[in-house]
Amino acid sequence: MAKSVYEEAYARSMQDPQGFWAAAAEDIHWDKRWDRVFDDARKPFYRWFAGGVLNTCYNALDLHVDRGRGKQRALVYDSPVTGTVKAFTYRELRDEVARIAGALRRQGVQKGDRVIIYMPMVPEAVMAMLACARIGAVHSVVFGGFASNELAKRIDDAKPRLILSASCGIEVNRTVPYKPLLDGAIELSAHKPERCVILQRPQETATLLKGRDLDWGDFVGGAPPADCVPVAATDPLYILYTSGTTGIPKGVVRDHGGHAVALKWSMGAIYGVGAGETYWAASDIGWVVGHSYIVYAPLLKGCTTILYEGKPVGTPDPGAFWRLIAQHGVNVLFTAPTAFRAIKKEDPQGAHMAKHDLACFRTLFLAGERCDPDTLHWAEDKLGVPVIDHWWQTETGWPIAANCVGLGTLPVKAGSPTKAVPGYRVRVLSEDNQELPAGQIGSIAIALPLPPGCLPTLWNNDAGYETSYLTKHPGHYLTGDAGYQDDDGYLYIMSRVDDIINVAGHRLSTGAMEEVLAAHPDVAECAVVGVADEIKGEVPVGFVVTKAGVERPEAEIARELVDKVRALIGPVAAFKLALVVKRLPKTRSGKILRGTMKRIAEGQEYTLPATIDDPAILGEIRDALQQKGYAKKG
């Protein structure tokens, strides 16, 4: 049988990675070609395109203008919370970015200097990122509204010359003043930035500190536009912090060369999107999805990208996504399963979808957490387009496993992000580093070297990079996820390694139990955590949120869920408690805070996660658990 396009590409990336990525790199404009595609002189700190020189901002903006596509829409800002829709062409975006780059330079920012961007989802935030890339400065975006102590840790680690911020962020029913949080962070941090630049939004005016703070208008006013500065392919483009287990954030570094090559390649190969088409990643620039697929990848490819300051529901209703797709001609949407669960909860019949013309829309991609089959099938059924679950991490910067639409779509298997993307040699390993047979759950690892675009190290912390990612499975990068491969090579990501629970000697996946709960017709979303138990070691506890309009007794639903897990996973799971709650605690990016729920259930001390969406939910969870005899010491 003839190999599929995907199989051929994957085989080529494994047999001749240097040739494979050199061919992909031909799509990037280089000021100077690389000396070596792959440099392994300092193992395990591998580098791609050593000796190459380029500018990421030139590739994302100027190149398209120089090729005569300056009038095409580059960025569409859609903000239902302020009632604003504004489009920027490639020429307009390049000119704005060049001016901000000139303003940075006027403040003394040079190649290699760090700039922290602590801003909401406004065009100036995207422009600031690209402006840093334009002059070779290293940006570090910190999610807007992050707590002062968390921001302070990032200031001390990155040591920025400048912080770019705004007076406030805007939630569905409130504004979040950023300036007090920023001032608090600088007070806490040992490193003091030279300047803070504040974008004043009409919803909230910030008080500026004389001598340190600068109004955005004054910062940019009269600044001469800056040209692109050529940088080494191996120079850092940005630092993006991800939570560390020690409480010290890990600064994931991304380089210029490998990042540009991998991201531009991924737009066509994985997402099946071409120049001139409209791509929307409904995420936030504070997260890796925002970096990769709101800002860099779509612009490198020459697409129109959407910057959305709103929510899936509540701005104003569960039809927000469909309005935006119809209005802006979106061809491909990438969002988190949690967004679809929110839409499904509010509009289970998809009535809002029917009100909009979605003729241009052809593919939905989901990632950020496991996509339960029920949500996948609901989206397929209501949208009538392929729904593609894919899997990756902050550290990799682009997908590890996906159904690569541009390489010929493979059959979808619900619950699986399909197969490894070309470039990634994914293995499922046992505790003693043996590759496990199909169907057995183990630790998912990626054989070194990682492909271009993945983290080469952590910021100023090579030792931390090795201990965090490279020591558990020698010769491999530890993803921290657990799962298995089936006989066809499809991957199943079941949970974090920490979420494999040991019930009376049986290793069980909380993800598999969540799959059973999510399939119940009354359940909108759910989470299962393992809780310490004197007899069995650990027992699972389920938390479920019901769909809008469900009025059956909670005890009845809970009993059905316990019976379902018993029937489908078996008595071995010892699943005896399902709690119906109003909502689940989540980060602002939509990840469920399972670790915090577990600590509450066990009566342990817990710190309020910096990224939590609504802290009041934790009290509700604790109360519900206490009624059932858990959370005793809390």
pLDDT tens digit sequence for 438-455: 999 999 999 999 999 999
Q: How far is CA 627 from the centre of its chain?
A: 36
Cβ neighbours of residue 435 closer than 8 Å, sequence gap 6 or more = 427, 428, 429
Percent of the chain exceeding pLDDT 90 equals 79
pLDDT digits (tens, 9 = 90+) for 499-531: 767 776 666 778 888 989 999 999 999 999 999
Cβ neighbours of residue 304 closer than 8 Å, sequence gap 6 or more = 72, 73, 74, 75, 76, 276, 277, 278, 279, 298, 328
* pLDDT number for residue 568: 79
* pLDDT number for residue 371: 83
Residue 64 has pLDDT above 50, yes or no: yes
Reduced to 3 states (helix: H, G, I; strand: E, B; else coil), residue 557 is helix
Write the DSSP assignment of 48-108 as a string of letters: EEET-EE-HHIIIIIHHHHTT-TTSEEEEEEETTTTEEEEEEHHHHHHHHHHHHHHHHHTT
* pLDDT number for residue 606: 84
Q: How far is CA 323 from the centre of its chain?
A: 23
* pLDDT number for residue 245: 52
* pLDDT number for residue 148: 86
- Given the candidates 3.40.50.12780, 3.20.20.210, 3.40.109.10, 3.10.580.10, the CATH classification of the domain at 5-310+390-483 is 3.40.50.12780
**Hey, where are the domains in the chain?**
5-310+390-483, 504-627
Let me know if 455 is exposed, middle or buried by CB neighbors in 10 A (0-12, 13-18, 19+): buried
Q: Judge whether 476 and 450 are in contact, CB under 8 Å.
A: no
Q: Judge whether 58 and 64 are in contact, CB under 8 Å.
A: no
* pLDDT number for residue 559: 94
| Number of CB atoms found within 10 A of residue 247's CB | 10
Write the DSSP assignment of 273-298 as a string of letters: --TT-EEEE-S-TTSHHHIIIIIIHH
* Strands 442-447 and 426-429, bridge-based pairing: antiparallel
pLDDT digits (tens, 9 = 90+) for 425-438: 999 999 899 999 99
Q: Judge whether 318 and 352 are in contact, CB under 8 Å.
A: yes
Higher pLDDT among residues 220 and 574, named by residue: 220
Q: How confident is the model at residue 103 (pLDDT cuts 50, 70, 90)?
A: very high
pLDDT digits (tens, 9 = 90+) for 173-204: 889 999 999 999 999 999 999 999 999 999 99
Q: How confident is the model at residue 244 (pLDDT cuts 50, 70, 90)?
A: low
* pLDDT number for residue 515: 87
For 571, half-sphere exposure in the C-beta direction (CA atoms, 13 angstrom radius) is 0
Reduced to 3 states (helix: H, G, I; strand: E, B; else coil), residue 183 is helix
* pLDDT number for residue 591: 81
The CATH architecture of the domain made up of 504-627 is 2-Layer Sandwich (3.30)
Higher pLDDT among residues 530 and 3, named by residue: 530
Q: What is the mean pLDDT of residues 7-15?
A: 98
Q: Which residues pair with 78 in a beta bridge?
A: 85, 308
* pLDDT number for residue 504: 65
Residue 574 has pLDDT above 70, yes or no: yes
- The letter for the amino acid at 435 is E
Q: How confident is the model at residue 634 (pLDDT cuts 50, 70, 90)?
A: very low
- The maximal CA–CA distance of the chain, rounded, in angstroms, is 72
Residue 342 has pLDDT above 70, yes or no: yes
